[in-house]
Amino acid sequence: MKDLQTELQTLREALIEHSYRYYVLDDPSVPDAEYDRLLLRLKQIEADHPELITPDSPTQRVGGVALSSFPTVQHEQPMLSLENAFDDADVHAFNKRICQRLKINEPITYVCEPKIDGVAVSLLYEKGKLIRAATRGDGFVGEDITQNVRTLRSVPLQLRGKDHPEKIEVRGEIYMPITDFNAYNQKAHTLGEKEFVNPRNAAAGSLRQLDPKITAKRPLKLFCYAIGKISEENIFSTHYDMLMQLKAWGFPVNPEIEHVTDIQNCLVYYQEIQHKRETLGYEIDGAVYKVDSLIQQKALGFVTQAPRWAIAHKFPAREEITQVQDIAFQVSRTGALTPVARLAPVFVGGVTVSNASLHNIEEVWRKDIRVGDTVIIRRAGDVIPYLVSVVLDKRPENTKPIAFPKICPVCGAEVIKPDTEIVVRCTGGLFCRAQLKETIKHFAARKAMNIDGLGDKIAEQLIEHNFVKEIPDLYTLQLHQLIGLERMGEKSAQNLIAALETSKQTTLPKFLYALGIREVGEATALNLASHFGQLEKIISASQADLEGVSDIGPVVAQNIAAFFRQVHNCEIIKKLQTLGVWWNEHVVSQTKQILDKKIFVLTGTLSHPREEVKATLQALGAKVSGSVSAKTDYVVAGEDAGSKLTKAQALGITILSEEELKELLGSVTS
């Protein structure tokens, strides 16, 4: 018995503390599922040992205490909680209890409502005017938040019509829409301010602002779901009629509410609303079933803290508590290093979760996530689980902040983090195994080495069979290896071998672009080739030298310098040259400044490939845009030129035929 009393005391203290953090401080320390488990255990013990129930037990209360910062309000009729159902069996048991108490065998008519995950409020009206708004508090005494609630546009200050009672207390749930919640947190993050944990936490925190002007700036909304005290009785016969009358008086009523004829249809509603959950635009954590007949509701009455005629059918928990066992870094196909929390497996949102993406290193630092921490994990629908927050009270001693690795965990190349980015990246693009598929695809692209026939599926198979471990292996592929691949016959294999051989003769700009250096596109590759002329000079260039190239800023220069600092990248380039990849020396343009900053637009069908014309213009320092604007200098119009030509004529922009373009290029290069 002593052990049982110790467990009771521990449970009660934990629940009281969690309630205080949740309702008063708006800073929940555990997810709802953990709280529900503790409360269920306490109820089980007290049910088996009623002699151990005390007046201050959390099972004898409805919610938390009122905030001392606001005047208190005595509810004229208690604002009670609902009993919970966690599966179909609980729902059927609820229906069976109702039928037995009412002594009927026919189906019960219910009203089904989404269970809004917000803040319960009481709105008191006299002669149609709002005179007081209060929080639930402990169910008997709440906080007076009238001035704050008056700022909500969804709360009527004056009821519509003239048939409303002399005095009426309306109950509802105040919430913050998900998009508004995300926008608020994004802004708070940018400004370095405290972010809310979830939309319910945001609604509670907003309602408890001492300055109503702050509440007025928060995007809060209301759904009404019941009437408490009312001066005229028996004016409604059903709960559904009452909701429709509330709507007529100007109160927002949830559009997802449905009238159903038996308990089985309640379960159908549960599945439907759970399916809609991700598209509603506000958080719900279950469905509520209420006996529709108000006469039946009155006959059923209440237990200590809940009505017998209603129940909340909870969804599987979206949040759970677990422990971080390790933090690893995964390398994406583009070289980005993403921190991933390795978790003690936990069942949340309908699946067992053992990993959670932490997005980037700054996210880890902002939330101060450490190995050994107890954390709250959230999963919504099919969304990848993410780590909400750390339970600091349970942090072990001697934990240390996480630092991002200095080398890639896959290939050992240098890792860089540009000042303007939050992503950490591997610089071993040509040899990092994690990036190999993406590297092959880019290397083989038409605008790069133009290896016809080397697509996604073939690249995947070459990697899977270990035929290609790094880019130079492409040029050592044998016919018998390719023939064995799926969807690769002898003719296709011969064509790919031929395409690989043809690709060996290229140009310096194309080769530079094919290397896949971050943010080095066709234009930048061309500028590099035109500025330095030789690959060796680009490899040995300092970051300052690189910044001297047209259109290359500090970030791109850093990426280029870091790429060529990797000895293995340079070794792979040498291997490619040894295997026969070559290009003629690129002529350094001495006339680049003549067309520098001139903006061209190409339109219509040209006699030469558009990419070729574009490259020629870029080699002379021009910029080639895809759209016409007032800043455009020239529009080169081929046959069947359309809207771009029309717009250029309207703007008075110089229009050139291909012959006129040749004359212009001849004049600037002679």
Q: Which residues are part of the catalytic machinery?
A: 115
How far apart are alpha carbons 298 and 311 in whole angstroms? 15
Spatial separation of the C-alpha atoms in residues 661 and 668, rounded to whole Å: 11
Residues 15 and 498: their CA atoms lie apart, in Å, by 73
Residue 20: C-alpha distances to residues 33, 137, 198, 208 (Å): 16, 11, 17, 14
**Cross-strand partners of 221:** 175
Pairing label, strands 129-135, 119-126:
antiparallel
Instruction: Give the number of other Cβ atoms within 10 Å of residue 186's Cβ.
Output: 11
Per the structure block, which two tokens stand in for 610? Answer: 């558009």
Q: Which residues contact 576 (CB under 8 A, 6 or more apart)?
A: 471, 472, 475
Q: Which two tokens stand for residue 190?
A: 């940018």
Token pair 């069942």 is found at 347
Hey, is 424 helix, strand or coil? strand
Q: β-strand 505-506 against 599-603: which pairing, if any?
A: unpaired
Structure tokens at 338: 């993403």
Residue carrying the six token digits 């965990």: 409
Share of the chain residues as helix, strand and coil, in percent rounded to the nearest 5: 40, 20, 40
End-to-end CA distance of the chain: 103
What is the C-alpha to C-alpha distance for residues 666 and 664, in angstroms, rounded to an integer?
A: 5
Q: Which residues have CB under 8 Å from 220's CB, separation 6+?
A: 152, 154, 174, 175, 176, 203, 206, 207
CA dist 576 and 443 (Å) reads 12
Going by their DSSP bridges, the two strands 424-426 and 336-348 should be labelled as: antiparallel
Q: What phi, psi does 398 have (nearest 5°)?
A: 65, 25
Give residues with Cβ within 8 angstroms of 553, minimum separation 6.
547
Residues listed for the chain: 670
- Judge contact between 189 and 198, C-beta under 8 A: no
Contact 401, 392 (CB under 8 A): no
* Residue 85 buriedness (CB in 10 A; 0-12 / 13-18 / 19+): buried
CA 368, CA 327: separation in Å to the nearest integer? Answer: 12
| 531: its two tokens | 């500025």
Compute CA 636 distance to the chain's CA centroid, rounded to the nearest angstrom: 44
Token pair of 445, please?
Answer: 């692209």
**Are the C-beta atoms of 175 and 116 separated by less than 8 Å?**
yes
Q: How far apart are CA 478 and CA 499, in angstroms?
A: 13
Residue in 554, 557, 551, 507 with CA at minimum distance from that of residue 529: 507
